[in-house]
Amino acid sequence: MNEYLEALKSRMGEEDYEKLAAIPDPEVHRFVAKAAELCDPKDIFICDDSPDDVAHIKHMAIASGEESAALATPGHTFHFDGYYDQGRDREATKFLVPKGDYLSPTLNQIDRDEGLKEILGLLRGAMRGRTMIVRFLVLGPANSVFTIPCMECTDSWYVAHSVSLLYRKGYDTFLQMTPGTEFFKTLHSQGKVDERKVSVEHEKRRIYIDYITNTVYSVNTQYAGNSVGFKKLALRLAIRKAHREGWLAEHFMIIGVRGPGGRKTYIAGAFPSGCGKTSTAMLPGETILADDIAYARNIDGVCRAVNAEAGILGILKDVNPKDDPLLYEVLTSPNEIIFSNVLVKDAKPWWLGMGCKLPESGINHSGEWYKGKIGPDGKEVPPAHENARYTISLRALPNCDPELDNPHGVELGAIMYGGRDYRAYVPVQQGFDWEHGIIAYGAALETETTFTIVEERGKYEINVMSIQDFLSIPLGQYIKNYLEFGRRLKKVPLVFGVNYFLRDLKTGEFLNERRDKHVWVKWMELRIHDDVGAIKSPTGLLPKYEDLAPLFKQVLNKEYAREDYIKQFTIRVPENLRKIERVKDFWAKVPDTPKEVIQVLEAQERRLLKTRERLGDYVPPEHFPEV
């Protein structure tokens, strides 16, 4: 028996002790022992993933008051986070950086010694009087080259219940682990809670990431993005691991797109929040493999990918029966679902944009709610929070892809990058090659925060590959890795840029309907298999009208006017040139920017200038050659 197990004996019952002792890695015992010594829980519950243990956690989430089952639909529960604990906290989320180490100055960071002293001080005694729950999980499918074991110690039954839906069980993996195996760790405490069982010391919320020991520390928060260590927090650790080992850990959704002859083609996509990621992942008639985080590896020269997770922590706002029929049906049917920060009235959850009139009273994250209520910050409280969420297992979705747990992953035919670009990029275009696509669409991914007729600086946010907030290596090195990853492949995925938000420059009206994205995705699938040609524009390869028109009819039963095609796919030279300037300015400030980034952007700039000389500022697609 090692010293750590000995220290834990008095803190847990015999059954829990035996479950922990069965794991052969002493580092697991050390982490649990140190967490218990620091946080001082009254007892420790070790979950071995048995149906009884998993059911006990769900029961305790309700019995503790962290969740409520007072909803009419079987399997539905709801949870409220504190008034000031409604989203990822960028300010309080920091990397612990040892002296002499370097991270990009754009990343939130704190000296490791100073940060550890602070966070361990906040965690000291934080679990007193509560149970510490220990969960063992895996990122990626089990028994796979993609597998990353991970564990979380938490005093929140809600957090422990959430991971049952979001991740694959990992206790058996830990039983088979040899000492020295790398794994990720999270120590979380909700801290002081009020009578509603929500964290109250939001000003002491801290989420610190120690990449030296692969540990996430989180305290005084319950919001899942801050407390479930294996969401974006562990993505930061996975990015470092991928950097060392030559693979990609990405903010990707993956969709299985059906093509002619019954084939299925997998396409990954990266989108900043609010740019169409979930609605693309949930396109009707296709399958969803991942909605948030994916790992991609070079397997025998082929790019293969897996979902790091097995569930969805999704945004509820604007999910309605018209725009998201499949998802809406799932959310209103009997399933194990945790709703968070919704309005509850008449034993039903309500959220913003659900396509019907909301009640004028009920309970929500602010407590008893009524229309016109003013919150403690002096602002009117909406019926439900804008960031209200649902937590559900992917396997509960009828469109869940059957390859979800394939240990070999799936072959990626393409990667798409999409932002909110009101002025410049066309709705869909293909990169000339890996390098051009990765740089012109991924490294230049841009989201515009407002639309005005007069263009203003400062209204654009560049979010490289939609992963900038989570990077734990220098940005220049990250892009270099990406470019090299593609060069090592024998079979390289195509790269597409999509933009669902192009507007008419005069009227400001959108030039696409929300459902049109399905046609763009179907066109990508045909391009991957070389079933259709394309038009070579200065910014990428464009679809031909003759190929899009039948797709609109087939997919949406909609007539597609040539006039609409011309409006959507006209190359706007001035707006594209300004976009390149903004992106070049951004990369000029990034240390170690690979020379290819500037080369690709300047080559695109030259193509646009030549186009302007020959054809003017606004060039319809038929003026470009077919390839």
Residues annotated as catalytic are: 275
The arrangement of strands across the sheet holding 389-393 comes to: 76-79, 337-340, 389-393, 311-315
Nearest-angstrom CA–CA distance, 184 and 205 = 21
Give the helix/strand (H/E) hosting 597: helix 595-615
The beta-strand segments (E) located in 460-502 are 460-462, 494-498
Nearest-angstrom CA–CA distance, 409 and 303 = 9
Q: Where are the alpha helices (DSSP H) in 124-200?
A: 157-166, 171-175
219 conformational bin, left if phi > 0, alpha if psi -120 to 50, beta if neither: beta
Neighbour tally for 564: CB within 10 Å: 17
Nearest-angstrom CA–CA distance, 165 and 312 = 8
Phi, then psi, of 144 in degrees rounded to 5: -140, 155
Contacts of 464 (CB under 8 A, 6+ apart): 442, 443, 445, 475, 478, 479
What is the tally of helices (H) and strands (E) in the chain?
A: 18, 32
Contact 78, 349 (CB under 8 A): yes
Nearest-angstrom CA–CA distance, 93 and 472 = 12
Nearest-angstrom CA–CA distance, 542 and 536 = 6
- Bridge-partner residues for 199, per DSSP? 193
Nearest-angstrom CA–CA distance, 96 and 434 = 34
Helix, coil or strand: residue 351: coil
Contact 542, 524 (CB under 8 A): no
- Bridge-partner residues for 503, per DSSP? 510
Q: Where are the alpha helices (DSSP H) in 324-454?
A: 325-331, 434-437
Measuring CA to CA, which residue among 126, 170, 168, 165 is closest to residue 151?
170
Q: How far is CA 32 from CA 136, 154, 220, 484, in A?
A: 12, 11, 20, 39
Nearest-angstrom CA–CA distance, 580 and 601 = 6
SS3 per residue for 536-589: ECCCCEECCHHHHHHHHHHHHCCCCCHHHHHHHHCEEHHHHHHHHHHHHHHHHC
Residue at 415: amino acid letter: I
Nearest-angstrom CA–CA distance, 386 and 467 = 22
Q: Which long-range contacts (CB under 8 A, 24 or more apart) does 454-461 make?
A: 455/423, 455/578, 460/582, 461/272
Instruction: Give the DSSP letter of residue 491.
Output: B
Token couple for 440: 């012109």
Contact 627, 541 (CB under 8 A): yes
Contact 43, 134 (CB under 8 A): no
